[in-house]
Structure 1
Amino acid sequence: MVNTMAELLCAVDFAYAAANNTAIANKVIEMATTRITAQLPPNIDPTKAPLAYGDRALPKLNRELNSATLITRQRALMALCDVMHNAEHICSALRVGIVASLRRLLSDTNPVVRMKTTEVLFIMAGHAVGRTAFLENYIIIPLAKLFDDEVYDVRLNAHKAIQMSTQSPPGPEGVINARLIESLVSKLKIEEDDIREVILDTLHSCMFIDTDQALEASAMSAFTMLLSHDRPSIRCKAARDIMDLSFPLDGKRKACEENTIPSLVILLRDDHAEVRAKAAGALMVITITTEGKYKSIESKSIPPLISLLSDVHSEARLNAIKAITTLAEAPSGRQELQQVIEKLQFIQETDTSDAVIKAAKAANKVITWKP
């Protein structure tokens, strides 16, 4: 019995060794032949196009962007998203004509291609050379056509790319010259909240250059509607844009016509400091006119403005003091503000901000003025 068992174990060991040797032999034979394995090398992402070496990388990607094969275009765009984070590669991309290829891909029928194309353009717009390329290659208008795309990510990337392009002086001019302000304002009423924030930032940049198109597009009404939004960042940016739009006289008049002031007064008591600061800033600008002064006083803006004099946020204190100064120019406002003289004197003695101290002195002078 023992011999039989021993013989059996020896047979098993022999069979295992033979099988193992056979596998090793087959591997050696495979390595010795010219046959290439079908397996991908390790650390290779099959969703991205493999990059060529050195200066050949971007020309190869550009050829693949223009390929008739969908998967080739998609993989090239995936790889390009990584490559474009380097500003030096953006310069090289411009030389080989990648921007022109991306412009054609904006109208591609495949949503993934459109999404990744807008993402690449957004990355490029993060660099000054990329923003310049937007204008030189007339990217803004075909990009703006995707504002109506059925895919949310495509629309979001398109808006982000446009917004990023307005971060340097030529960008806002390009948006204004393309007559996109009306379209952007209309999208504020119907778009998702994330896109609304991007649009508000774009309009903020553009209104530094020109406010006429925004006024013609009823932007004041759209901004006023967003003052009651649930998201604090949207309330803050809407109040900021109202301030931008109110710098010209027509903007101040529009704020009075659209009943914007009562909504801003409500925000003076908002839980978020940035919202309070921007609301006070908007009132500061609107109340420069006589109509704005009296509408603000009628809306009971003075009590919450006085409360902001003790706000922890320096911008909120500064804007509140300046708003109080303009309101004190009206006789009824000056009479109501007599109670803050001591508080303004205390601010002059204790505040750490030179701008706030200077504004407090000016406010005190206006409030204590006598004919």
Structure 2
Amino acid sequence: MAHARISENLPPDIDPTKAPIAFGRRALPKLNEELQSPELLTQQRALMALCDLVHDPEKVYQAIEIGFLDNLKNLLLHHDRIVRQKTTQILYIMAMHSVGRQGLIQNGVISALTELLDDPVDICRKNTHQIFEMMARLPEGAVGILCAGLVPFLVLKLKTESEEIQELILDTLSNCLRVEASEALATDAVTILKEKLTHSSVAIRSKAACVLLEISTHPEGKVAVCEEVIPVLVNLLEDTDPEIQASAAGALMFATIRPQGRFSALDAEAIPPLLKLVAEETSKARLSAIKTLTMLAEVPQGRRTLLDHTDTFQQCLNDPSEAVKRAAETAISVIKWKPFSRRDVS
């Protein structure tokens, strides 16, 4: 005959590592109180429970309204690694939501995270860089990172961090340097990025090329690229990854706006790989390659070389892209241009 027995085991849906969540409107306020508890276990369990709740954007909004972010900022400096890890994880999940990103910006979380750039725990640093990368996707988030003075630190961290974190840093820098590049240039960013352009990782090469593309859009960035990086960019035009080719061609396009950039590109023998990209109809770098060659045709040496390749540009006149057609027409016009003589005028 069966007998009723009381098991000593917890029910399968009970997690002893998480704080029990109060019902209804009291849930978040109770957790907020527990985050301020002097007992480490209480804080840890509250963070575990909160980590589940903030996947819901409505809960994120409520948490911000209640004032969670002030307590979470304080916990970023906690002596316990588990507390710091879960706190950064919660902030990262919150940053995935639009309301969360806005809340983090308005409550000064970006500056508070600066202390974790040197955290001894890898996962804490990774979570921190994931937050920065997510925040930088918003223009105001990128401005917040710039205003916090983080860009020089991020550039220097490219020398020491793991490849996984380097990728996050490069993504963050790409968005931040779209706004302002002076701080990065003052930290010798171009030299550091130049090393990353020859990295064995395709992802790091690609992301480094993207950052250099953003740098080259700024006047002072063009100077640095012309002086240091053009030969490496020319080599990347033949990289196996189309995204790397496109970024390299784009950076060359901006750099060759300067006369120094044109001569450097010609010295690096940029014309053959650029022509190859123009001839490839599916190339993502096609438009940038055409515009770069147009710049090189402004130099007599470049024009003489390109006069034998006008048929390559003629083929582009049938391209479905109007931008490519216009760029090809301009290129042909510049390549075939001849200076007027007095006899022509008379």
In the alignment, structure 1 residue 344 sits paired with structure 2 residue 328: no
CA contact (8 A) 2:275 2:312 kept: no
Give the Cα separation in 2 of the matches to 1:339 and 1:354.
24
In the alignment, structure 1 residue 359 sits paired with structure 2 residue 338: no
In the alignment, structure 1 residue 327 sits paired with structure 2 residue 296: yes
CA contact (8 A) 1:128 1:168 kept: no
Query: Would you identify which runs of 4 or more consecutive aligned residues in structure 1 move more than 4 Å?
Result: none
Give the fraction of aligned pairs with identical amino acids, expressed as a percent: 44
Output the amino acid matched with 2:94: M
Write out per-residue CA displacement over residues 171-209 of structure 1, whole angstroms, 9 at most, x where no aligned residue.
111111111111111101111111111111111111122
Task: List gaps (5 residues or longer) in structure 2.
Answer: 340-346
The residue number in structure 1 matching 2:112 is 142
The residue number in structure 2 matching 1:307 is 276
The residue number in structure 2 matching 1:202 is 172
Write out per-residue CA displacement over residues 328-352 of structure 1, whole angstroms, 9 at most, x where no aligned residue.
1111111111232111111212x23
Which secondary structure does the structure 1 equivalent of 2:285 belong to?
helix
Which secondary structure does the structure 1 equivalent of 2:144 belong to?
helix
In the alignment, structure 1 residue 88 sits paired with structure 2 residue 58: yes
The residue number in structure 2 matching 1:6 is none
CA drift of 1:313 comes to 4.1
CA contact (8 A) 1:118 1:157 kept: yes
Give the Cα separation in 1 of the matches to 2:135 and 2:257.
33
Give the Cα separation in 2 of the matches to 1:75 and 1:120.
13
**Structure 1 residues 54-63 or 67-76, which shifts more?**
67-76
TM-score relative to the length of structure 2: 0.93
Output the amino acid matched with 1:211: A
Which of 56, 61, 73 is residue 26 of structure 2 equivalent to?
A: 56
CA drift of 1:354 comes to 2.4
Output the amino acid matched with 1:79: A
The residue number in structure 2 matching 1:277 is 246
CA drift of 1:104 comes to 0.7
Write out per-residue CA displacement over residues 216-237 of structure 1, whole angstroms, 9 at most, x where no aligned residue.
1111111111000111111111
Output the amino acid matched with 1:131: R
| CA 1:346–1:312: 2 relative to 1, 3 Å | closer
Give the Cα separation in 1 of the matches to 2:8 and 2:323.
70
CA drift of 1:38 comes to 5.0
The residue number in structure 1 matching 2:196 is 226
Give the Cα separation in 1 of the matches to 2:299 and 2:50.
60
CA drift of 1:91 comes to 0.9
The residue number in structure 1 matching 2:129 is 159
